[in-house]
Amino acid sequence: MKEGAQKRRVALVGTGHRGAGTWGRELLANCGQWVEFVGLSDRNSLRLERARAAIGTAAPVFTDPHAMLSVTKPDMLIVCTRDDTHAEMIVAALEAGVDVLTEKPMTTTAQMCRRILKAEQRTGRRVDVGFNYRFSPTAKVIKEVLLSGAIGEVVSVDFHWYLDVQHGADYFRRWHAFQTHSGSLFVHKATHHFDLLNWYLASDPQEVFARGALRRYGRAGPFRGPRCKTCPHASICDFHIDIGRDPWLDMLYEDPSREDGYFRDACVFREEIDIFDTMSAAILYENGVQVSYSLNTFMPIEGHHLAFNGTKGRVEIRQYERQAWETPDEDEIFVMRNFGAAERIRIPHQAGGHFGGDLALQRMLFAPGATDPLGQRADARAGAISVLTGVAAVESAHTGQPVKVKPLLDEPNAA
């Protein structure tokens, strides 16, 4: 940034773990020379004050985000609220002439996708969706390999994501466990994966056939309690956590729960949980690519397996996070040609969230002169298509029928 140039004026709504962390203190640490906070908002005033201190800003705080927009007049609003509230905040910002960066998923329903896209078109402002997985070093190399034509034309993809009994269970402790708030993990979590597929394949999904079940959490559990902190089954529950052992989460959620009743350690076996914990989907793309996808949430491992099958070979990726065996601190990509030598590419894990993806995304959005040769930056349309893939998957799982994706964008009373 040139000397004397204005910093980007940013406001943040939602000061929970992701907001206060990645888009708060980490954003300032990584991009503070280009960004300044002009306002923070959260409905919980105690969490809001604690988050402001943790972020390290003197920006004014607001429990009313609409008032924050009116008073501070930021250049950009960062949205980190509950998924089903994203659309309200995104549209309000666009109508106020403010650009938006929203956490994924962009929203949770087809109706709200339509609302955001119309507002963006009407106002001429821009929505960016924080798809940080596009920016991980491994994803970048995969995209480059596919563009090189090393395996010819892609015809099918195998994509299987594994959440372990720590990470996977956490979704069932939080508001994510209810479809009305998260759209289900087919939307909240898989929006990452569907967006990666859309970006890798440079095509849109045409049709989804999916299945889903609740096999381990919720009403499938052997017993239940109000929350881990006061649970009578703590001594025998494999999923019991002590939130006090995590100072960051304890600071943001335990005392602040007095204001809104939201506990960060709710029981994973609550009977009212209504999302799937075991999911699979067959996705057909407009360019003819067939995808086999699955997501499991109570595995002894964490990571994913991804393979692209092409007319001239295969690219296979094994991405290691927590495993049941010792693994290198790197990802591996295997490029296998039908007629020719195979290639093994090792990609060391980088510092920061999502193996460096968070930092790369932040710099793409805020560093002066940033370029985007691979099209990693995701707009509202990309956000909508990934959400609608998940919405179609949920509908298919409930009806037992395949669901077309693009018609979900049509108005319900359209011809």
Partners of 35 in the beta sheet? 8
Distance CA 357, CA 133 (A): 6
Q: Give the model's pLDDT for residue 415.
A: 40
pLDDT, one tens digit per residue, over 266-317 is 999 999 999 999 999 999 999 999 999 999 999 999 999 999 999 999 999 9
pLDDT, one tens digit per residue, over 150-207 is 999 999 999 999 999 999 999 999 999 999 999 999 999 999 999 999 999 999 999 9
Predicted confidence band at 24 (pLDDT cuts at 50, 70, 90)? very high
Share above pLDDT 90 across residues of the chain, in percent, rounded to a whole number: 91
Q: Give the model's pLDDT for residue 413.
A: 58
Is residue 375 scored above 90 in pLDDT?
Answer: yes
Query: Could you report how far apart the first and last alpha carbons of the chain are, in Å?
Result: 51
CATH superfamily of 8-130: NAD(P)-binding Rossmann-like Domain (3.40.50.720)
Q: Give the model's pLDDT for residue 412.
A: 75
pLDDT, one tens digit per residue, over 89-103 is 999 999 999 999 999
Query: Which residues, 6 or more positions from 32, have their beta carbon under 8 angstroms from its beta carbon?
Result: none
User: Rounded mean pLDDT of the chain?
Assistant: 96
How far is the CA of 149 from the CAs of 243, 308, 335, in angstroms? Answer: 49, 12, 11
**Helix, strand or coil for residue 266?**
strand
Dihedrals φ, ψ of 298, to 5°? -140, 50
Q: Give the model's pLDDT for residue 414.
A: 47
Tell the burial category of 121 from Cβ atoms under 10 Å away from its Cβ (0-12, 13-18, 19+). exposed
Question: What value does the mean pLDDT take over residues 101-123?
Answer: 98
Q: Which of 345 and 355 is assigned the larger pLDDT? A: 345
Is residue 1 scored above 60 in pLDDT?
Answer: no
Neighbouring C-alpha atoms within 13 Å toward the C-beta of 264:
21
**H or E stretch at 392:** helix 380-399
CATH number of 133-218+273-409: 3.30.360.10
CB atoms closer than 10 angstroms to residue 170: 19
Residues forming CATH 3.40.50.720 domain(s) in the chain = 8-130
CB atoms closer than 10 angstroms to residue 326: 6
Residues forming CATH 3.30.360.10 domain(s) in the chain = 133-218+273-409
Q: Give the model's pLDDT for residue 273.
A: 98
CB atoms closer than 10 angstroms to residue 280: 18
Is residue 67 scored above 70 in pLDDT?
Answer: yes
Partners of 102 in the beta sheet? 79, 129
pLDDT, one tens digit per residue, over 2-14 is 555 689 999 999 9
Q: Give the model's pLDDT for residue 323.
A: 86
